[in-house]
Structure formats: structure tokens, C-alpha cells
Amino acid sequence: MRTALSIAGSDSSGGAGIQADIKTMTANGVFAMTAVTALTAQNTTGVSGIMEVTPAFLAEQLDRVFEDIFPDAVKIGMVSSAALIEAIADKLTEYKAKNIVLDPVMVATSGARLISEEAIDTLKKRLIPLAEVITPNIPEAEVLAGTEIRSADDMEKAAEQIFAEYGCAVLLKGGHQLNDANDLLVGRGVKKWFEGKRIDNPNTHGTGCTLSSAIASNLAKGYALDEAVERAKRYISGALAAMLDLGHGSGPMDHAFAIDNEFTAERKN
């Protein structure tokens, strides 16, 4: 069975973070492992508290995973401090981790800041260059490219600039901000739009986590990057279209829709 590792924060409400990653990887027929960066106390209406693990304990979790079951892909989500980012970069380099998908999580849709200002610099210098692909939304891409994004044209310029500067492929997500759900992939020899029909569902908690862990699952299964993204887009569209409605705010998606369908069917031994 193919395996994937999620390095991310825990979301007590189960819609985003580590919990979304485990659900997504499992529904995609991949064995999920985790290294927790922080506990968050949150629900569908917001984040009330964050408790980070120590960098040494994060490194210890990574050691135990890599020395035993080497992951076929790694997804990185919420990492709130520079010291934690350093610990991850050191370990991923030491173990020569492959198929790294980095979601540069900065601010939750509910408005909570999930990374410190100073850590963004370390993310740029240490972690982004290790990634096969990064998956910023528009505000995150604006921070990475240092430009405003107001149109599809702006998305193309920003994605090309990020690819040129950091050397990793970029999937720039149009999702929350522009009217359609079209995402743009720019990488070595590839520039491709992935068109998504906007689904009229206010419950989008964890969409970024789900998309990035679906991409990591597909890379773990051996798909090329553009096919991995195509399949991940289909997965998230299905999870949104299932129209789960839980909680008092922006609720989570339904991963059960994928059980016994094309995503799990391809489990490889």
C-alpha cells in the first residue's frame, strides 16, 4: 500500500488540518501517517487557541516515521513558527523526502493567523525550495510574489514569478476569491488551468488542506503532477458537492462520498 505523511496542525472540529488530511488520504486509498505541529482549539466559527509542539518533539515524530515507514509523499500544512519550519526542513533534507506538497497556510478563512510574520521568511528560504509543488490561495500568493492579484492575468504573472524565484511548481488556487473555482499550475514545462465549476456551498472549511493532501495522495500513487492535480480537483468537487451541513459557521466537507469509488479503487500494494 502506498503511504503519505501529513505534517500539520490538529483541528479539533475535524474539518481542516491533520484530520482533513487523514480523511482525504484514506478516501484516496493511501495509508496516512502524521507529525503534529500544533494543537488548535477551533470549530466552524473560528480558532480560539493554538498550542505548538516543541521543535524537538516534531523532529522526534519525523524520525520515528521516516526510520520505519518511508512515506511515498509528504504534505505540509500549518507550521506556525520559524523554529518548527527549521526542524521540518532539516529532517526532510536528512531523509531525502520525496513528493513534498506544501500548502503555505497563513490565515484561516475564519480570519485567525496561523503563522507568525517572521516565520514567513523562513518558510520562503528553507521549506518552499524543498517542495515539488506549493498550493497558495490568492492572499498567500500575494505575500509570496509581493504583487496584487485581481484577475486571471495577475494569477499567471504571480505564479510564474513564484516558480522563477523558488524553483518549485505552483498551483495557484482561485477558489475563495475570484468568481470561478479555476486553479493554475505553473512548473517546469507546464502551464495549465484546471477549471472547476463553482459549487454553491458555504461550507468550505478545510478546502485547502483537502486539496493539498489529495495531490500528495495521487503523487504517492505514482501519478504525474498534472494528473495528480486533475484528480485532486475532482475529489474536492465531489466532497463539496455532497453538501454536508454541520456546525454554526463554515462547515466541513463530506469525505465519505468517495468510499468505494474511483479514488479508493486504485489502492496499490
Ligand X SMILES: Nc1ncnc2c1ncn2[C@@H]1O[C@H](COP(=O)(O)OP(=O)(O)O)[C@@H](O)[C@H]1O
Could you list the active site residues?
A: 173, 204, 206-209
Where does this chain touch ligand LCLJCK34 (CB under 6 A) — which range of 53-61, 188-196, 205-213, 220-228? 205-213
Residues in contact with ligand LCLJCK34, shown as a per-residue x/- string from 208 to 227 under the rule CB under 6 A: xx------------------
Beta-sheet pairing, 31-43 with 46-52: antiparallel
What type of residue sits at position 182?
A: N
Q: Where are the beta strands (DSSP E) in the chain?
A: 3-11, 31-43, 46-52, 73-76, 100-102, 133-134, 169-173, 183-187, 190-194
Binding to ligand LCLJCK34 by CB under 6 A, coded x per residue (else -) over 18-57, reads: ----------------------x-----------------
Interface with ligand X includes 198 (CB under 6 A)? yes
From the list 124-132, 151-159, 200-208, 227-235, the region that binds ligand LCLJCK34 by CB under 6 A is: 200-208
Quick check: 21 and 232 in contact, CB under 8 A? Answer: no
Shortest distance in whole angstroms from residue 136 CB to ligand X: 8
Handedness of CA 114, 144, 21, 202 (dihedral sign): positive
The per-residue DSSP string of 38-53 comes to EEEEEETTEEEEEEEP
Q: Which stretch binds ligand LCLJCK34 (CB under 6 A): 105-113, 143-151, 164-172, 177-185?
A: 105-113
Give 37's DSSP letter: E
Which residues make up the interface to ligand LCLJCK34 (CB under 6 A)? Answer: 8-9, 11, 16-17, 40, 77-78, 105, 108-109, 114, 204-209
